Each structure stands twice: as C-alpha cells, then as structure tokens.
A and B are shown apart, each in its own frame.
Chain A
C-alpha cells in the first residue's frame, strides 16, 4: 500500500540558510500534519492542513511556514536556520481532520544544521 513520502530524507544546511521539506500524503488523504522531533525528544506538533487550509497550529517558529497545495502535497519552509533546528521532521496524513482519525507517518527528513 502507498505510504507517506517525504523528501529529501537527509538534508545538511548551514546556519542562516533556508530549507524546504516536502511531503506527499497517502492518495485520497486530505489532511497533512508536520511534527518535529529533536534528538532524544518526543515528537512536537508544528502545523496541520485540511483541504489546503491551515487547520491547527502548534509550536511552529515564526521562521517556519508551510502550505498544502492543490494536489494535497505539503511543503515546510524553514528560514534563518539555527543549530537547534537540527531534528527529524515527520509528516503525517489522514483521511479527515479529526483526532480519532489514524495518522500515517512518513519516514521523516533528518535535518542537520551546521
């Protein structure tokens, strides 16, 4: 079965650079979530989109922005990168935007900021 696709899988950036992470949800899923997981930390919710509109917002820094496109894929744009942004970034998708709907997670993008 098709799963959530994230690209790139690994990314190395310098401080103050920008990065764009991409997420392709499971076909027919209309909701996308972004999570950040720092080393040894638990996943933290950043932002979510339902039918191309922002549906929920968590602890996303102002330096980050995201959107969901007409084909339902989503991109997380990160600017002025800091060392503390080094983390695994997971995208998840679900059919419908409800807590009780199972979220399917992608393999993650490992971002390293030097």
Chain B
C-alpha cells in the first residue's frame, strides 16, 4: 500500500480557495487516488477520485501531476460547513478493497 502524507491541519476563511496536498511517493502504476471527507461523529463521505491529470466535480477538483507522487484537493470558495477532516487514500483494485485511512487533514473554516 502506498503511504500517504498530508498536513495535520489547515485554517481558512470563508470564501477562500483551499488546497490540500497529499504526498504518495511510492504510488503504484495501478493505484487510484481517492479523497473522503468526514464531519464529527459522521461516517466519511466520498469527495472525488482520480488517476492522472485533473478531475473536477460539483464540489472539488483533484490535480495530479504527471509523476503522480502527489495530489492536490482543491475546494473552491469554502464555507463554514466545509470544516471537516479530509482523507487522501491510495489503492488499486487488485490488492484489497478496504479504505486504509491514515492521518487526515483537519480543515477549520472561520468567518
């Protein structure tokens, strides 16, 4: 399993763009990069997934450079309700189905 490293915490003001970078230096060729969000006392929620380049959905963008050794989750114009823990996970479809959560990034959004 590729080890991931993220900042422990980040602070932002409402309306700003937040970028959370995850390092995964030993990512394998078949690995996907997935991000989940978790609010206190709630189950994690899927945000976005990618393999290479850029992926965008209605809530976030995921930027993956060509070497795939890192990825950046971008949250545009955050609101107070985006305060949560964000997890970066890396895995492939052949070596296990589970999500092995590491240390996520605790994002605090203030007015």
Contacts and interface: CB of A to CB of B under 8 A. Distances in A.
Contact of B93 (A90, A100, A103): A100
Interface in B68-111: 87, 91-93, 96-104
Given A42-B87, A42-B103, A99 B44 contact: no
Contacts of B104: 42
Given A42-B103, A50-B97, A99 B45 contact: no
Identify whether the interface residues of B are mostly helix, strand, loop, or mixed.
loop
Interface in B20-60: 32, 34, 38, 41-46, 49
Given A88-B41, A100-B32, A105-B43, A56 B96 contact: yes
A77 interface: no
Contacts of A107: 42-43
Given A99-B91, A99-B93, A100-B32, A45 B99 contact: yes
A20 B97 CA distance: 24
Contacts of A106: 43
B101 to A, nearest CB: 5
9 contacts: A31-B97, A50-B97, A92-B43, A94-B97, A99-B34, A99-B93, A100-B49, A103-B44, A103-B46
A18 interface: no
A45 B98 contact: yes
B90 to A, nearest CB: 9
Given A33-B97, A48-B97, A58-B98, A43 B91 contact: no
A76 interface: no
Closest 9 pairs between A and B when the two form their complex, measured CB to CB? A105-B43, A99-B91, A45-B98, A98-B93, A102-B46, A97-B97, A42-B101, A90-B43, A43-B101
